[in-house]
Each structure stands twice: as structure tokens, then as C-alpha cells.
Amino acid sequence: MKILITGGTNGIGKGVAKILAGLDDPKNEIIILCRSEKLGKETIKEFKRTTSNTKISMVLCDLTKLSDVKSAIEEVQSKHKFLDGIFINAGIGYAAKRVETGDGMDSHFQVNYLSQFMLTLGLLNLLEKSENGGRVIFNVTTVKDKIFWDDIQMRNNWSFEKGIHQAMVAKRMFLNKLHNLYQEKKDSRLSFIGFEISETVWSNQVNIIPYFMKTMATLMKWLGQFISVEKCGEIMAPLFIENQKDSLNKSGKIITWKKNDFIVIKEKKDVLNQTLQDKLWEHSIRLCKDEKTSKIAENLCN
């Protein structure tokens, strides 16, 4: 399986990448999309040493820049004839203040959602060429169900929690829209699955949050409230390698892992609302300001 993972140099993405790279299958190939060349090289070195898998590569891409996303799509297209899976995972968590990207967007919105919207659309053709049934797994949470339609870029009413939650809702609407579009296609083999981890993962976020939050987190860790990134990777790995039929059965759904099984979480009404999904879709395409993305979206909808 050839799988591209966004944010594979830390946290959940790194945990999933590590487990997939280490699986006893010489065919497994991992492409890490990351913003830091240094971290990317270190991660590849670490995986090659600990897993003896040599098929690990990286694509540099800072998700705060749509120009980087465009280049990353071109690079993957030029180096790979197919992809079996994409893990849409990279994300900003804690932030002390709102940061506007060079593209004029709220950074949570752009990094956690919009740039990965563009990336996914730009790589769908490679997933369609997968012999195993291409799949996109979205790292999501289901805490909230609202898009701030009047202030999507959160210029007037920002908090980092709101930024995280809005991007999560947008990802869930996007995956559902993609699922519906591919359902309408004859012989579609692609699946779009949201996964919510039911426990808290001890990720790089603990190094970013303020001191008092870190103290709380450390206390919670002692009480066994966290799982490691590797454990999270072990839980999620089957989603990337299971057969096409099992993957298609999960498409369009949000699932979690409880009592040693994948179970479906009921999605909220507003997220499933097709009018709202279309509104977000159109808005996202406009924000990408990219002819190729617009064309792909248009072809998908016709």
C-alpha cells in the first residue's frame, strides 16, 4: 500500500506513519507531507532504522501556503502513478492568538481544512488508479457542528478552540460531499472515512501548550488518560490496509474505536445538510483561486 500522510513528523500522523512503515509487508510505502525538511529527514532516518522499510519519502509543504500545496500536488503527480490512501491529519492545535496566513485566511481554517481540501482534490486521480480501492481517512472530532458562515476567517470572534472545531466540521462536510459524489459514479472504488480517536493522544501539542495546561496534561498522563502516538497508529492502521469492501462499507461515515472494534458515530444534521455542504464546497473552491482545482471540482460535480 502506498499512503501519503499529512503531518507525519509529529503526533498522530507520525504514529500512523510509523506503524504502517513497520508492518511486515515490503510493499508498504509511506510518503510524509511535512513543513520542515529537517524534521522530515530525521523522521525518515528514524523509520528506516527502526522498521527496516526503505520505501519512505517526503514532500515538503507548508499548509499555510496554497502555493506550496500546488507544488506538492505537482511533485506527487510527477513521482507517483497511483496512491492507495491519504491521511488528512496535519493540524494546528493550541495557539495564543489568531494568525492570518499570507493567503489572508485564519491559519486554523487554512492548515487544518482548506489546504488539505485542495490537496485531496488534486490527488483524487491517483487514488482512482489504486488497485486496492483508494481511500482518504480524515482525522476528525465531532464535538461541534457549526460553520461560522458570517465570519469563516474568524476575524471578529476568534479562539483557538473555535478554530479547531470549525475546521473539523468543514472536514466532515467535505468528506461527506466527496462520498456522495463518488456514490453517484458508476463502479466507484473510493472511500472517504472520518476517524475520531476516543482517547486523548500524547502528541507534540504538549510541547506547545502553556505551562499550566502542560501541568494538567502531565497529571492526566499519570492517571492513564493519554495514549501514545504509536498506540493510536496501531488502532488506525487497519483503516489504511483493510480490503476495498470493508473500506467502502465505512465510506461517508465517522467511526471510532471502542471495546476493540470500529463503531459508527451518528453524524450531526447540519453536517449532512447537502445545501450547506454545497455552500462550503463553492466557498472553498473560490478560496483556492486555482484553475486546476476548480476544473477537478467541476468535473466531479458533472
Chain residues in the site for ligand NAP (CB under 6 A): 7, 9-13, 34-36, 39, 62-64, 89-93, 111-112, 139, 141, 164, 197, 200-201, 203-205
- Please report, as a single letter, which amino acid is at residue 35: R
Complex with ligand NAP: residue 120 or 203, whichever CB lies closer: 203
Distance of CA 174 to the CA centre of its chain: 11
Residue closer to ligand NAP (CB basis): 222 or 245: 222
In the numeric block, the cell 486546476 is attached to 292
Q: Rounded CA gap, 263 and 40, in Å?
A: 33
Residue 268 Cβ, how far from ligand NAP at the closest point, in Å? 17
Q: Rounded to the nearest whole angstrom, what is the least distance from the CB of residue 154 to ligand NAP in the complex? A: 16
Give the shortest CB-34-to-ligand NAP separation in angstroms: 6
User: Do 166 and 109 form a contact (C-beta atoms < 8 A)?
Assistant: yes
Q: How far is the CB of 185 from ligand NAP (least distance, A)?
A: 29
CB of 184 to ligand NAP, least distance (A): 29
Amino acid residing at 290? D
Comparison of 114 and 124: residue with beta carbon closer to ligand NAP: 114
Nearer residue to ligand NAP within complex by CB, 181 or 197:
197
CA-to-CA distance for 133 and 85, rounded, in angstroms? 9
Strand partners, 258: 261
Distance from CA of residue 175 to its chain's centroid?
Answer: 10
C-alpha cell at 222: 499519570
For ligand NAP, which is the closer residue by CB, 93 or 144? 93
